[in-house]
């Protein structure tokens, strides 16, 4: 037996060595080293308090991931996914350019010893850092749809009426208005509601509230609803325009307004009179506006968005015009059928008038209805001042006198 074991010992050892070499070769051929690109490893940002403790805020690119290339034995590498790795960015080690290096490692200690990791692209992430500010803003109630016909919203009261926001300066500066929406469809009585605040930019776009902090989650709203009434608007001027000038026109809009109030208060008013548009010493057109609220009685408020009455006063220089009055145009009032009446001082009389151009252009003597009253006069010669009808915007500069002789038939 001994001879059999040691017989041809050299050949046997050589065979064993060859077998080991063949096994090593086969093993390496079957499990060779390879590389693989792993994408989409989500980055975890740590130590953010290093920034926030200095009254600053930071923002990382949303959905930030990193890609790597791993090298190792095929049997290990081919099974790897992005869940087998973790990527960490330490914000306490941020550079002066706000860049943070990303460190990627295998989650398994076994894999960590077997693998070599290199970065497929940039191994740093840029972080936005801003000053943190605080601002207090008013809360406005915004109603959707309309209340019942014949009714309007009298008041909208939010509780609380202020909200405090904190966040990045660029984000807080974007907030132009804070509103709470309440549906009032078809209501004809007071109502209460609870609503969450909505943050709007100057262009009316909604700002994502997740980007900042705020201290009011919900707002209680009280809506007061009351009856409405349409009131006529009348505008009057006060004072006198410059001598030689006159008001040529008075226009204003709107000519009526919708108001809201208790039924008893509404019953006491039918019109709004604005009588203090001062035109003292005015020699040219004037435009002005007045706040309607200043002329509303107690208990009455505006029901729509109209807040002002726009008033335009047109002023023109007065002109003079000479006209001629014939005796045929003078009406003799109060005649006695037993008498005859005749004009002694001629048949034509100069009549001087003054007024606005458009008034005088189409003015005729007959429009003035000239007349004298002879009621009770006995036969004889008399001088009468001709009576003229008052026409707005027209002034008779001189009296016209006529001589009448009354004789017995």
The tens digit of pLDDT for each residue in 15-70 reads 667 665 555 554 455 457 899 999 999 999 999 999 989 889 988 877 789 999 99
Given the structure tokens 């109603």, which residue do they identify?
143
- pLDDT at 223 (0 to 100): 95
43, 90 contact by CB (below 8 A): no
Give me the pLDDT at residue 32, please: 76
Question: Using CA atoms, how far apart are residues 9 and 15, in angstroms rounded to an integer?
Answer: 10
CA 226 to chain centre: 25
Q: What's 227-317's CATH class?
A: mainly beta
- CATH class for the region spanning 31-126: mainly beta
CATH number of this structure's domain 319-408, picked from the four choices 2.60.40.420, 2.170.120.30, 3.40.50.620, 3.90.1530.30: 2.170.120.30
Sign of CA dihedral 244, 248, 254, 257: positive
227-317 and 319-408: identical CATH topology: yes
pTM of the model: 0.58
In angstroms, rounded to a whole number, what is the distance separating the alpha carbons of residues 191 and 186? 12
pLDDT of the residue at 33: 87
CA 84 to chain centre: 53
Domain boundaries, the chain: 31-126, 131-226, 227-317, 319-408
- 256 backbone dihedrals φ, ψ, rounded to 5°: -150, 155
pLDDT for position 9: 63
Low-confidence ranges of the chain (pLDDT < 50): 26-27, 30
Q: What pLDDT, on the 0 to 100 scale, is given for residue 63?
A: 72
pLDDT at residue 31, as a whole number: 54
Q: Which CATH superfamily is domain 131-226 in?
A: YbbR-like domain (2.170.120.40)
């Amino acid at each position: 037996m001994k001879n059999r074991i040691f017989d041809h010992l050299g050949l046997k050892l050589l065979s064993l060595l060859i077998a080991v070499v063949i096994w090593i070769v086969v093993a390496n051929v079957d499990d060779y080293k390879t590389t693989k690109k792993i994408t989409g490893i989500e980055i975890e940002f740590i130590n953010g308090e290093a920034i926030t403790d200095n009254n600053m805020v930071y923002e990382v690119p949303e959905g930030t991931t990193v890609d790597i290339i791993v090298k190792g034995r095929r049997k290990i590498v081919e099974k790897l996914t992005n869940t087998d790795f973790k990527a960490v960015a330490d914000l306490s080690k941020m550079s002066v350019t706000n860049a943070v290096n990303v460190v990627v490692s295998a989650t398994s200690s076994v894999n960590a010893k077997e693998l070599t990791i290199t970065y497929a692209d940039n191994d740093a992430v840029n972080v936005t850092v801003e000053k943190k500010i605080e601002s207090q803003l008013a809360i406005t109630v915004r109603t959707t749809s309309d209340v019942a016909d014949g009714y309007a919203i009298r008041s909208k009261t939010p509780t609380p009426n202020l909200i405090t926001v904190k966040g990045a300066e660029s984000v807080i500066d974007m907030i132009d208005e804070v509103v709470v929406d309440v549906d009032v469809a078809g209501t004809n009585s007071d109502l209460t509601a609870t609503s969450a605040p909505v943050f709007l930019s100057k262009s009316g776009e909604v700002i994502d509230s997740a980007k900042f902090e705020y201290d009011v989650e919900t707002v209680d709203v009280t809506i007061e609803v009351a009856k409405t009434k349409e009131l006529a608007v009348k505008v009057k001027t006060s004072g006198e325009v410059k001598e030689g000038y006159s008001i040529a026109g008075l226009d204003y809009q709107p000519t009526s307004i919708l108001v809201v109030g208790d039924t008893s208060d509404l019953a006491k008013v039918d019109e709004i009179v604005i009588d203090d548009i001062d035109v003292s010493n005015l020699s040219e057109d004037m435009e002005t506006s007045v706040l309607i609220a200043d002329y509303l009685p107690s208990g009455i408020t505006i029901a729509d968005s109209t807040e002002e009455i726009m008033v335009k006063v047109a002023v023109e220089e007065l002109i003079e015009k000479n006209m001629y009055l014939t005796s045929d145009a003078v009406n003799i009032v109060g005649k006695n059928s037993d008498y005859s009446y005749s004009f002694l001082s001629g048949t034509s009389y100069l009549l001087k008038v003054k007024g606005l151009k458009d008034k005088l252009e189409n003015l005729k003597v007959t429009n003035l209805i000239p007349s004298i009253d002879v009621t009770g006069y006995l036969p004889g010669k008399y001088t009468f001042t001709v009576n003229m009808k008052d026409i707005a915007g027209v002034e008779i500069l001189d009296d016209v006198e006529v001589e009448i002789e009354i004789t017995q038939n």
